[in-house]
Structure 1
């Protein structure tokens, strides 16, 4: 039975363990990947297991039988985009601010971007994407969260937010998913 055919129990964070072989040893399989993805979703949806569960189901449906690293990343991104993650063109600063504000609202955090109208691209022309990410990072840290970003390999910027008391867990899980996560603009 493929791992994605297992019943999903959101209360059992490691319910996707490898099946036992005839000799009693366990074999690694893509169920481990599902367990890692579930832990990622729990961290980027803190206190909202329902949202994590919905995103996990969407992740599983999108991923199907493809367990290649890029397919896993794409499935996670598709399942969480603008719900628990963002990926926007690097030169669209107003969209970046909107995405980060939308995600920060889940934690009841309002960010001060230092501009009168953060939706005005002209007013934001002098602000770099990295400076905006650093601004969000600093304010989220004060509120108890960390803004994580990673290299997308193209001209977009992607990221998530998670409680700052689990920074090491985010690094470990991000690495296991093939994401070189870094705090803020890195």
Structure 2
């Protein structure tokens, strides 16, 4: 058998950040909610950093970092809508799903009075979660501390990483099938 050691480099690359660093964790969250699109993740990360610096909060774990993040990802990788606004929720999730050429089967249309009378935004979020799971995506509900429905999408293979990372960051998330 030939010696293939000349063809493979098994050394790990040296990392240029501390894995326990707050900014590194935030960056990893941006990567999770932008699977396969590191350029968009970087744009959003930079918007988030600028917003925190402009607010005077500083970039550390004590900062109120979630609202600027939700603003940085709005309608691209995440959403925050009024709990009573089913139409806005459907529009936001449709926009996010379109990134991966997915279309949600909501089970009806809000223009249909019978359908609209039977559903509300949390029910629709649960429906979207279930439909996205069929395509290997997960819709996450994020507790923003206010009365809105907020969330983001990621690959369902990253479920454990999402839960672990958000736990480290101190933000509560749960599957969209059980929204806050």
> Is TM > 0.5 for Structure 1 vs Structure 2?
yes
What's the counterpart of residue 15 of structure 1? 16
Q: 1:154 to 1:121 in 2, by over 3 A?
A: farther
- Contact in 2 for aligned 1:145/1:161 (Cα 8 Å): yes
Q: 1:33 aligns with which of 22, 28, 33?
A: 22
- Contact in 1 for aligned 2:70/2:78 (Cα 8 Å): yes
Structure 1 residue runs of 4 or more that deviate by more than 6 Å after TM superposition: none
What's the counterpart of residue 175 of structure 1? 167
**Secondary structure at 1:152's aligned position in 2?**
coil
What's the counterpart of residue 62 of structure 1? 51
- Structure 2: state its 5+ residue gaps: 1-12
Q: 1:129 to 1:50 in 2, by over 3 A?
A: same
What's the counterpart of residue 161 of structure 1? 153
| CA–CA distance in structure 1, aligned partners of residues 80 and 62 of structure 2 | 18
TM-score (ref. length: structure 2): 0.81
| CA–CA distance in structure 2, aligned partners of residues 101 and 165 of structure 1 | 21
What's the counterpart of residue 6 of structure 2? none
Note the alpha carbon deviations across 1:8-50, whole angstroms, 9 max, x for none: xxxx9953328xxxxxxxxx7xxx1110111001110001111
Note the alpha carbon deviations across 1:84-137, whole angstroms, 9 max, x for none: 01000000000000000100111111001111x34x495524202222111101
**Secondary structure at 2:104's aligned position in 1?**
coil
User: RMSD in angstroms over aligned alpha carbons?
Assistant: 2.2
**Secondary structure at 2:66's aligned position in 1?**
helix
Note the alpha carbon deviations across 1:61-103, whole angstroms, 9 max, x for none: 0112153556211121111111101000000000000000100
| CA–CA distance in structure 2, aligned partners of residues 66 and 107 of structure 1 | 31
TM-score (ref. length: structure 1): 0.79
| CA–CA distance in structure 1, aligned partners of residues 175 and 112 of structure 2 | 25
| CA–CA distance in structure 1, aligned partners of residues 24 and 172 of structure 2 | 19
**Secondary structure at 2:171's aligned position in 1?**
coil
Q: 1:90 to 1:16 in 2, by over 3 A?
A: same
| CA–CA distance in structure 1, aligned partners of residues 166 and 119 of structure 2 | 28
**Secondary structure at 2:76's aligned position in 1?**
coil
**Secondary structure at 1:124's aligned position in 2?**
helix
Aligned positions, number: 161
For the pair 1:42 / 2:31, whether they are aligned, the reply is yes
